[in-house]
A and B are shown apart, each in its own frame.
Chain A
Amino acid sequence: MRRGLAWVGALLLLGGCVSSRPIDEIQIIQQMGYDFENGRYTGTAVYPTFKQGPMTKPNMLTTTSPTIYDLIPRLSSKSALPIEEGQLRLILFGKEFARRGVTQITHSLARNNKVGSHLLLGVAEESAKELLKITAKTTLSDTLYLPNLVEQNEQSMNLPKTNLHLFLYRYFSPGSDPFLPYFEKKGDFVKLEGVALFRDDQYVGHVSLRDSFLMKILLGETKNGVYQLKVGNRGKQGEDRVMLQNLWAKPKYEWKRDGRRHVLDVFVHIHASVRDYPSWLDQPGGDLFADVKKKMQNELEHNMRRLFHYFQKKRIDPLGIGDFVRSVTRHWDSDAFYREYPDLDIRPHVTVDIVHTGIGE
């Protein structure tokens, strides 16, 4: 009897705890844009509206405010249904906004238990609002155009993996700086342009998608990515390039002392397949590939050196070199390391193994 009463009581009480929110009675924000224009912040929210059946149509809400935290409440005042941020997939920062720092937003996201760790972040070349408007207009039913674009490029192309967790990890780590995908408006299309680089939480510059292949490898992501290399001086345009596809690559860092300076040796071993190559390389019996391999290695080394110099000049460390040095130094001092960082001697050594050249010969 008593037992039964306890159960009934528990059921009644738990039944009262449910707070259900049917899907057509809320506004699920899937993408959010932040801009800074003329001293005011602009927030743009993209949400799907459900028509008949599985068809969804992306819609937009925009508002401006002198402060950042105020944006979601202000969006609410323009929306007939309550706004839910639990399905947020991508947050896009305008370049001006990113330049002023994104800490406020990312910290608030890190505290928000409704937002998942897989949330993607990105930087737009001009305004985030414009970019989101394009995706809302050009895609008929796909409200997740940008998130899918990023994920596709991370999985099969040159973009290194990024998301909220990785952003916060690199932001808080004393030995690395965060980076995000960088988008540009090309006519009526959105194009992934490369990787936006941050110093602490402020946007300081970006590198191209081609260079992000090198970043991806140097970060230790082993698979995928394509890279075009110049291997000769003959022929017409395109006749002297080879297209390299990374099958498996591994970087190895070595930190040592050379007199009064420190030297960082970076050994990169790439197992690649050559997807496209000029016809003159195809002479049977000749060992032209050995020569080409040498050229590829030289060019990769040259480009890596250029990339390192760029990072050093900007005093940023998106590759987490500081993190690596910390792991091999007792009582690592981050201030001392980054004082030395711009003059650090970083020496890339690349080995390329051409595993195959496709099914043709």
Chain B
Amino acid sequence: MKQAIQERFLISPFLVFFVIHATQVGVGALNFQRPLMKEAGQDAWMAVLMAGLAAHVLIWLMYRLLSHSPSGGDLVSLHEQYFGRWIGGVLSLGLLFYYALAAFMVLQSYIEIIKVWVFPLIGVWQFSLVFLLLTYYAVSGGFRVVVGLCVWGVVIPLLTIFPMVFFPLEYAQYRNLLPVFDHSFGQLAKASKEMVLQYLGFEMLLMYYPFLKNAPSSQKWAHAANAFTMFIYFVLILISVVFYNKEQIQHITWPTLTLAKIPEVPFIERMEYIVISIYVLVVVPIITLSVWAATRVVKQLFAVQQRRSLPVLLACLFVGTLFFQEKTDIEQLTQWTAKAGFYLVAVYVPLLYVYVWMAEKVKKALQQKP
């Protein structure tokens, strides 16, 4: 299990930028403003920055954990090394469920958006089938194909969707940003906890770390990706604060899509439909990478080939989408994913890091004694 991965399967360090950024910005970017402005009003942008800085620290911690563990592999081999086959296996199983949940949540949320905005009468299963076929196609091509998808999932939306969010500045009320610091630190902390889901995505690193060529050198790209994510959310929240007021935004389900109603061009009256269509490119990389990570866990844990576990996992996701139809269920699902992700990256990984660090210390001390 410890054998190194062949060089032809590895990716260059700078591609980590695209992978991390693509997985961070997802369906959450369409509606994160609402809970944030409910807690922190015009100071919501501070919560965005606070959460982003916290994500920086966690990425740094993750790199420390992965690069200093002697196994040099992913989290599953780390588990096995430090907790043994059984306890480590149970922990890895938890990771597997988390990745599957993440993929499922993104898929379900995006299907909901399509249903509400574009095709209200069409059933969920058609969409999920198409998406899962696409996922199958990408994941069976291997990690490098998934990364390629991530690159386009960053570049195309950045060139097409991102410029669109500046049009609403026509209606900007800059005084909405004042007074600054009108909220207590407690409120800001609570608001930044709402940002967890938006910054999540870098936890896939725990599985694809061994696939990085000269992995420790990719850390700066990971931080750059997180900084860029921060910048995107920062711009989005600033525009939302000046465009909406605090009460109004509570009545809008997807504030970012409603922002896209503002630009007008002669040949297309309503840009939000374009945004929703291009958003496929934002959503699919997240689903594929989560599914890839989940099947990778299966491979490392049970030595089952990814090609075999992939159809099983996709079938589970497909059946799952048939049972989640109502809006409240999907909201609940999102909450769970955010919570699970929060405990994984902000609680479990730091604890694991402390444990590994102590274990190494103890080992060294024992070796020196005799």
Binding site for B on A (CB under 8 A): 2-3, 6, 9-10, 13-14, 16-17, 19, 87, 107, 110, 113, 116-118, 165-166, 168-169, 172-174, 323-324, 327-331
Contacts and interface: CB of A to CB of B under 8 A. Distances in A.
Given A13-B130, A330-B182, 18 more contacts: A2-B140, A3-B137, A6-B133, A10-B130, A13-B126, A16-B126, A107-B251, A116-B261, A116-B270, A117-B262, A118-B264, A165-B171, A172-B251, A173-B248, A174-B245, A323-B176, A327-B177, A328-B179
A323 B179 CA distance: 11
Interface in B204-260: 244-245, 247-248, 251-252, 258
Contacts of B122: 17
B1 interface: no
B223 to A, nearest CB: 35
A169 B119 contact: no
11 contacts: A10-B133, A13-B129, A107-B251, A110-B251, A110-B252, A113-B272, A116-B270, A169-B173, A173-B248, A327-B176, A330-B182
Interface residues of B, number: 34
Tell which of B140, B245, B258, B264 has the most Cβ of chain A within 10 Å: B245
Contacts of B262: 117-118, 165
B365 interface: no
Contacts of B129: 9, 13
Contacts of A173: 245, 247-248
A324 B179 CA distance: 10
Contacts of A166: 171
B175 A169 contact: no
A172 B134 contact: no
Contacts of A13: 126, 129-130
Interface of B: 116-117, 119, 121-122, 126, 129-130, 133-134, 136-137, 140, 171, 173, 175-179, 182, 244-245, 247-248, 251-252, 258, 261-262, 264, 269-270, 272
Contacts of B252: 110
Tell which of B117, B134, B140, B182 has the most Cβ of chain A within 10 Å: B182
A68 B182 CA distance: 41
Contacts of A17: 119, 122, 126
A113 B178 contact: no
A117 B167 CA distance: 13
Contacts of B130: 9-10, 13-14
B137 A113 contact: no
B134 A6 contact: yes
Contacts, number: 74
Given A117-B258, A169-B248, A173-B248, A19 B178 contact: no
Contacts of B137: 3, 6
B22 to A, nearest CB: 21
A110 B248 CA distance: 10
Given A17-B122, A327-B175, A172 B261 contact: no
Given A168-B248, A172-B247, A327 B126 contact: no
Nearest to A175: B245
Contacts of A116: 261, 269-270
Contacts of B264: 118
A351 to B, nearest CB: 22
A338 to B, nearest CB: 15
A201 B305 CA distance: 63
Nearest to B175: A327
A172 B243 CA distance: 13
Contacts of A169: 171, 173, 244-245, 248
Contacts of B173: 169, 323
Contacts of B251: 107, 110, 168, 172
A98 B114 CA distance: 35
Contacts of B126: 13, 16-17
A42 B269 CA distance: 29
Nearest to A16: B126
B72 to A, nearest CB: 34
B248 A328 contact: no
A329 B262 CA distance: 31
Tell which of A168, A330, A331 has the most Cβ of chain B within 10 Å: A168
Contacts of A327: 175-179
Contacts of A87: 269
Closest 7 CB pairs of A and B: A172-B248, A327-B178, A172-B247, A327-B175, A117-B261, A173-B245, A6-B133
